[in-house]
Amino acid sequence: MDHLIPASWRFVLKEFLDSDSCRGLSEFLSRERALGRTIFPAEKNWFRAFFEVPPERVRVVILGQDPYHGENQAMGLSFAVPNGLKPKPPSLKNILKELKTDLGVEFDEGLSDLTGWAKQGVLLLNTVLTVRAHEPLSHQNQGWEELTDQILQHLNGRKQKIVFVLWGAYAGKKKSLLTAAHHEIIETPHPSPLSAYRGFFGSKPFSRINSILRQSDLEQIDWIRITEP
């Protein structure tokens, strides 16, 4: 598995990559493929978020649960789908709706891959990095959580401020790993249709993140830059 991870993150994940949990996860994924089960995203995109943002450039973490389980959706960045995909997943539609409300701007509705955010230091991280087609949460408790917990613990140890965005109860469980007082946590209900009206809508996460970065003399995120050319 380590050959799939960029070198900058392999150092961060060395303890996990040398562990029995990593071997167990690799064996589980091999069995899934041997049984003919389709795994999303494609293997080349399992660690896409890490290729987009090296550890020293992370300024914001947006934490998701597991990848989208529908055809042509998951691309290795939490909440993102390829540009032009229709229909968009409901959670992403609500995220982009709140973005428009929060910042009061229009943007191209066909853009959805969120690579523009990633290129600016936003780590779009799922806690579980793969899923069986059409079976949400089918790859939880197989070892991915230990890998992503190690990522969060490493980032918690960073001296420069990071804004951690926890949407929903599942992401909120990771709050216990984020103990350093100089970091900031934004915690709201999940953007899914089941909970968006319980506090996600109107939470203004994008302007709040930029306010935090600005107060710390850090470069703000251009949230309207949703994609890269």
Give which of 58, 169, 171 is closest to 123, Cα–Cα. Answer: 58
Q: Is 147 exposed, middle or buried (0-12, 13-18, 19+ CB in 10 A)?
A: buried
| Catalytic residue list contains 113 | no
Amino acid occupying residue 229? P
Cβ-proximal residues to 64 (8 Å cutoff; 6+ apart), any chain: 78, 79, 124, 125, 126, 127, 167, 171
* Token output for 155: 């980032």
Which residues are registered as beta bridge partners of 188?
Answer: 167
> Whole-angstrom Cα distance, residue 113 to residue 62?
14
Amino acid occupying residue 65? Q
Torsional sign, CA 181, 183, 186, 192: negative
Query: Is residue 14 helix, strand or coil?
Result: helix
* Token output for 189: 């209900």
CA 64-68-69 angle, to 5 degrees, is: 140
Alpha helices (H) in 35-76, listed in sequence order: 48-52
Q: Which of 2, 66, 102, 108 is catalytic?
A: 66
Q: Which residues are catalytic?
A: 66
